[in-house]
Structure 1
Amino acid sequence: MARLSIVCIGLVLLATVWSSSLNIEGSSKRVLVLLDNLAIRESHSYYFKQLRDRGFEITFRSSDDSSLQIVKYGEYIYDNIILFAPGTKEFGGRLDAEVLTEFIDAGGNILIAGSNTIGDAIREFAGECGIEFADDKNAVIDHLNYDANDDGQHTLIVASPDNLLTSELITGQAKRAGLPFLFRGIGMSSDPENPLLLDVLTGSSSSYTANPDEKSLAEYPITVGKRTLLISVLQARNNARVGFVGSLDFFSNDFFDSAVRSNDGKKSDKSGNEELAVSLTDWIFKQRGVLRARNIRHYLKKDKSTPRFYTIKNDLVFNVQFDEFVHGKWMPFNGTDVQLEFVRIDPFVRATMKNKGGQLEAQFCVPDTYGIYKFVIDYNRVGYTHLFSATQVSVHPLRHTEYERFITSAFPYYISSFSMMAGAFLLSFIVLYHRDDTPKNKTE
């Protein structure tokens, strides 16, 4: 019995370790979905089904739940948050704009969908990210590009794929498919001085943001033309990602399945909302566009050994393995624009690395200046996580036994020295062995 109990305890511990390892592997797919009302769960079921099919673990909660929290025992219990609760003025429990900001600082990802009414908590958090939503009761209006099912206010607009960001990492095949997008919601504007923001989808030149219930514009519209943002994303300096979509209906079943009939007569059997929504979510939740560097090596080219330090004018080789995360798997990165810098305060060498199946390599000669150097890779491209790597090495001057005995450029000095020595020798020889045979005058 004692042995049996020990075996049982061992099996329980093994199962616990195994299950915890599964949780660690799938931890990046824990998603918290906050809803204004549970009806959204049904009206947007196609979108949530797409997330489940991709392996995401979805937890639905009401946005005003008094027991709401995302941190437990000092650890975040979710990795991604979807805020489909634009009308919520204040979140329940221990959740507010400050907590959401801390969640981003910790590396979490958030997707926010808006509507004609935006709560104060979401507005405050969006302001921290450089996004400003239009005032409540405003909507994006386009009198030239609207759907035939519009109610007459021209707020059910048709967004052209030509206004979509050219980056398949973020938008998938939505731009290439050429399908128009249905949008009904609020417009946004971004901070032009924030380099971390990307305009994913903008309105057409004839779009603007205003109150559709007002018959005339008393003031200049909040956003006009292509400055009207429909979808915007932010990638923070710690590679956390935030997405802002001005329309909650953009993710709805009706917009996914609806045919598009523009007022100018153009028809499409299906909108591009589903492709763009799923691709955008994959990118925000870091299922695409994530890079890592591993197996960093540097060595002498002649014998492939890594010394304690390098000497000036050594020929060396630097290589590193780059991987890209694609839908749950690490694949070799195929980029050919990765550059390596050999830096001592300023770059002394900058070389584009050759890619051989994800194995990046650069060869160069160490500069003729000794000091402390770094191998630096600073790769920052649209759609990819910012990858920075720095490896420090020291470069020493030549030893006294390593200098050249005869320098080619000094041959004129060598010749002048030996010619002077030869001239001195000849002059000395002449002075010592010269005999004066001139007869002397005799005195009487």
Structure 2
Amino acid sequence: MARLSIICIGLVLLAINCSSLLNIEGSSKRVLVLLDNLAIRESHSFYFQHLKNRGFELTYRSSDDSTLQIVKYGEYIYDHIILFAPATKEFGGRLDAEVLTEFVDAGGNVLIAASNVIGDAIREFAGECGIEFADDKSAVIDHLNYDINDNGQHTLITASPDNLLASELITGECKKAGLPFLFRGIGMTSDQENPLLFDVLTGSSSSYTANPNEQALTDYPATVGKRTLLISALQARNNARVGFVGSLDFFSNDFFQNSVQTNNDKKSIKSGNEDLALALTDWVFKQRGVLRSRNIHHYMKEDKSTPSFYTIKNDIVFTVQFEEFVHGKWMPFNGTDVQLEFVRIDPFVRTTMKNKGGQLEANFRVPDTYGIYKFVIDYNRVGYTNLFSSTQVSVHPLRHTEYERFITSAYPYYISSFSMMLGAFLLSFIVLYHRDDTPKNKTE
């Protein structure tokens, strides 16, 4: 019985380790979907079905459910949250803007879709992320780029793929496909001084955000031109991701299926909403653009040994393996712009590493300055998670037996020393052995 209990405990620990390993590998796909009403589940069924096909475990809850919670026994029970509840003023249960912020701080990912009416909870959370939505009952209006099915207010606009962020990790191949997007919702602005925010999709130069029911503009519009954000994204410093879409209809079945026909073009083209919505979701939920490093190794170039310390002017090699997480699999990273720094307070060496099928390698000579150094890799690119690696080593000066006997630059000093010795020898020889044979004068 004792052996059986020990075996059971071992199996339990193994299962826990395996589950934690799966979480590290990025395969956690527990998604909480918060809805204003259950009708959204039917009107957006195509989008949710795509997520199920990709292996996500969706849990649908009403946004005002009194039993709503995302933390249980001190652990988060969801990995991602979809907020399709823009009209909710306050969330039910133990969920509010502060809890959502803590969820992001803990590494969770959030996708938010807004509409013409936005509750205070979502506005507060968006403000924490540097996003500000326009006032309620506002909408993005474009009198030059709208769909022919518009009701006359020109709020059913068409967004050009030229206004997409140039990053295939976030937008997929939508920019190459050239398909326009249908959008009916509210505009937003972002903090331009926040380097963590990305303008994924903007309006055209003729778009603006205002109340379409007002016959005349009495105030300056909330957003104007390409400063009108339709879709924005945030990647926090802990690599957590948040997506903001100003239109709940952007994910609807109608916008996925409907064709786009602008007032200027009689051609009917398929909308790119489906492709962009899925690409954005993959990025927000960390199915793309996730990097990791492993197998870090450094050694002497001569004998490929790793000493306890290096000496100045040693030729060394640094290698590391980079991998990218793509749809459930770790693949070799093909980037060629990864740089390595050899740092002692300031970088003494900065070199671009050669990529050989995901194996990155750098060769360089240790500087002629001893001290405590670090191999530092700080890779931060748009769409990728920030990858930071630091390995500390010590660099010693040369021993007394390792210096050169004669230094070329010191030859003048050698010559002056030997010439001085030779001159002293000649002077001593003359003084000691010189004899004056001149006869002396005799006095009479």
Report the TM-score, using the length of structure 2 for normalisation.
0.96
In structure 1, the partner of 2:384 is 384
SS at 1:267's partner residue?
A: coil
In structure 1, the partner of 2:33 is 33
CA distance in 1, matches of 2:16, 2:57: 15
RMSD: 2.0
In structure 2, the partner of 1:423 is 423
Could you report, residue by residue, the CA deviation over 1:397-432 in whole angstroms, capped at 9, with x for unpaired residues?
111111111111000110111111111112211222
Report the TM-score, using the length of structure 1 for normalisation.
0.96
SS at 1:343's partner residue?
A: strand
For residues 312-327 of structure 1, what are the structure 2 equivalents within 5 Å?
312-327=312-327
CA distance in 2, matches of 1:347, 1:406: 32
CA distance in 2, matches of 1:49, 1:87: 24
- The one-letter code of the counterpart of 1:119 is G
For residues 30-179 of structure 1, what are the structure 2 equivalents within 5 Å?
30-179=30-179
Distance 1:62 1:379, change over 3 A: same
Q: Is the 8 A contact 2:317 2:364 kept in 1?
A: yes
Could you report, residue by residue, the CA deviation over 1:363-389 in whole angstroms, capped at 9, with x for unpaired residues?
111111111111111111000001111
- The one-letter code of the counterpart of 2:48 is F
CA distance in 2, matches of 1:402, 1:58: 67
- The one-letter code of the counterpart of 1:313 is K
Could you report, residue by residue, the CA deviation over 1:146-200 in whole angstroms, capped at 9, with x for unpaired residues?
0011111110000000101110000001111000000000000111111110000
Distance 1:116 1:340, change over 3 A: same
In structure 1, the partner of 2:331 is 331
CA distance in 1, matches of 2:270, 2:279: 17
Identity %: 82
CA distance in 2, matches of 1:401, 1:36: 79
In structure 1, the partner of 2:249 is 249
Residue 350 of structure 2 corresponds to residue 353 of structure 1? no
In structure 2, the partner of 1:202 is 202
Q: Is the 8 A contact 2:239 2:385 kept in 1?
A: yes
CA deviation after TM superposition for structure 1 residue 438, in Å: 1.1
Q: Is the 8 A contact 1:325 1:331 kept in 2?
A: yes
Q: Is the 8 A contact 2:310 2:396 kept in 1?
A: yes
SS at 2:355's partner residue?
A: strand
- The one-letter code of the counterpart of 1:434 is H
CA distance in 2, matches of 1:388, 1:406: 44
Which deviates further from its counterpart, 129-138 or 400-409?
400-409
CA distance in 1, matches of 2:331, 2:381: 18
Q: Which runs of 5+ in 1 are unaligned?
A: none
CA deviation after TM superposition for structure 1 residue 17, in Å: 5.4
Distance 1:370 1:24, change over 3 A: closer
Distance 1:241 1:429, change over 3 A: same
CA deviation after TM superposition for structure 1 residue 268, in Å: 3.6
Which deviates further from its counterpart, 27-36 or 231-240?
27-36
SS at 1:230's partner residue?
A: strand
Which deviates further from its counterpart, 395-404 or 38-47?
395-404
- The one-letter code of the counterpart of 1:397 is P
CA distance in 2, matches of 1:184, 1:92: 27
Size of the aligned set, in residue pairs, is 441
For residues 298-313 of structure 1, what are the structure 2 equivalents within 5 Å?
298-313=298-313
SS at 2:414's partner residue?
A: helix
- The one-letter code of the counterpart of 1:59 is T
SS at 2:363's partner residue?
A: strand
CA deviation after TM superposition for structure 1 residue 306, in Å: 1.2
Distance 1:266 1:381, change over 3 A: farther
CA deviation after TM superposition for structure 1 residue 13, in Å: 8.1
Q: Which runs of 5+ in 2 are unaligned?
A: none
SS at 1:337's partner residue?
A: coil
In structure 2, the partner of 1:220 is 220
Q: Is the 8 A contact 2:179 2:269 kept in 1?
A: no
Q: Is the 8 A contact 1:169 1:383 kept in 2?
A: yes
In structure 1, the partner of 2:18 is 21
CA distance in 2, matches of 1:161, 1:304: 51
Distance 1:37 1:363, change over 3 A: same
- The one-letter code of the counterpart of 2:210 is A
CA deviation after TM superposition for structure 1 residue 245, in Å: 0.0
Q: Is the 8 A contact 2:147 2:262 kept in 1?
A: yes
SS at 1:148's partner residue?
A: coil
Q: Is the 8 A contact 1:323 1:332 kept in 2?
A: yes
Q: Is the 8 A contact 1:294 1:321 kept in 2?
A: yes
Residue 232 of structure 2 corresponds to residue 232 of structure 1? yes
CA deviation after TM superposition for structure 1 residue 433, in Å: 1.6
In structure 2, the partner of 1:280 is 280
- The one-letter code of the counterpart of 2:106 is A
CA distance in 2, matches of 1:326, 1:234: 20
SS at 2:121's partner residue?
A: helix
Distance 1:256 1:320, change over 3 A: same
CA distance in 2, matches of 1:307, 1:269: 64
CA distance in 1, matches of 2:8, 2:360: 44
- The one-letter code of the counterpart of 1:21 is C
Q: Is the 8 A contact 1:179 1:268 kept in 2?
A: no
Residue 398 of structure 2 corresponds to residue 401 of structure 1? no
Distance 1:16 1:65, change over 3 A: farther
CA distance in 1, matches of 2:19, 2:442: 126
Q: Is the 8 A contact 1:259 1:267 kept in 2?
A: no
SS at 2:28's partner residue?
A: helix
Could you report, residue by residue, the CA deviation over 1:308-344 in whole angstroms, capped at 9, with x for unpaired residues?
1111111111111111111111111110001111111
